[in-house]
Homo-oligomer: A and B are copies of this chain.
Amino acid sequence: MASAPLSEFELIERIRSQVTHNPGIVLGIGDDCAILSPTPQCSLVTTDMLLDGRHFILAECGPEAVGEKAMGVNLSDIAAMAGKPIAAFVSIGLPRQSADTTALGILKGLRKVAERFNVELAGGDTNVWDGPLAINVTLIGETVPPGPVHRSGAQAGDGIFVTGPLGGSILGRHLHPKPRIAESLQLRACMNLHSMIDLSDGLASDLRHILAASGNLGAILFDDAIPIHDDAWILASRDGRSALEHALCDGEDFELCFTAPRKEIENLVLPDSSNWHPVLVGEIQAEPGLRSKQANGQIEPLTLQGFDHMIASKQFDDAL
């Protein structure tokens, strides 16, 4: 790497020469705005800001993981609506001391994920400052027929499904999300999905968002059906909370949670080579409130909460 500092325009040139191209982009990096071609589909837009000390610790994970995570969490939001990603817009506030290496490391991580999902890095904004690293990605995608899946469509009687094991992502997985874009499109193509959300705040919180958006419905979760990630067990052995609690409350799993009539799942035929399958974890009910059915058959109100980015910030900081 050159020892002289990169100018903003050298950096932009370097980014521009390396980006994946998506046919939806008429004009990418280099003008006042990017230009996206018209599409008969609706556009999907999501944005997420990641901050040093909150969503990653730069000194521990390095800039490439930051780029990976920033792109991945936004892709996960596109997956949550059953959309197809098109273009990413990346803004970075770089700590002055290591601006160049940080910028290039982040770019490497962004590109790695962008290439995998055919996302064009179509614009952005780079700044140097005296604060810690801050990065924002806005991702634009498009809906896929028969249309996007909202949080608000859950119906009493729906099965509640998740796409993979939960909990303990703080041990490292949260830095390398595996956005469920392909899985979401497969689900959308095969099943009548009623509602969907990605698990960023923990199942106990994110399911509440579905319930609230769907007209104050309720749900029951089957404790012994919740797929618990190995990381949740490891964390449980360290902190005395149960692995189930970690699976329900830890944030940043980036799996999908969706609801659909139970029998719909029979329409989903996955190839033998497929390394995932949805797991039924509960049922939507007309009676408001979140309940859990314990292994002994007893039903209790579920008072556990996931992650609130405004209030519960200390909880996450402590976990880091």
Question: Which residues in A have some Cβ–Cβ distance to B below 8 Å?
Answer: 5-9, 11, 26-27, 30-49, 51-55, 77-78, 80-81, 83, 87, 89-93, 96, 99, 122-132, 134, 136, 138, 140-141, 143, 148, 150-152, 197-198, 213, 308-311, 313
Contacts and interface: CB of A to CB of B under 8 A. Distances in A.
A49 B136 contact: yes
Nearest to A11: B310
Given A49-B92, A127-B51, A197 B308 contact: no
A317 to B, nearest CB: 9
Given A47-B123, A49-B125, A127-B54, A138 B35 contact: no
Given A150-B27, A313-B128, A83 B33 contact: yes
A8 to B, nearest CB: 4
Nearest to A37: B42
A81 B31 contact: yes
A93 to B, nearest CB: 5
B308 A9 contact: yes
Contacts of A308: 7-9
A270 to B, nearest CB: 23
Contacts of A128: 54, 309-310, 313
A291 to B, nearest CB: 21
Contact of A7 (B38, B80, B152, B311): B311
A96 B311 CA distance: 10
Contact of A91 (B49, B81, B123, B148): B49
Contact of A132 (B38, B91, B131): B131
A52 B96 contact: no
Interface centre among A5, A87, A128, A148, by most chain B C-beta atoms within 10 angstroms, is A128
A38 B35 contact: no
Nearest to A94: B310
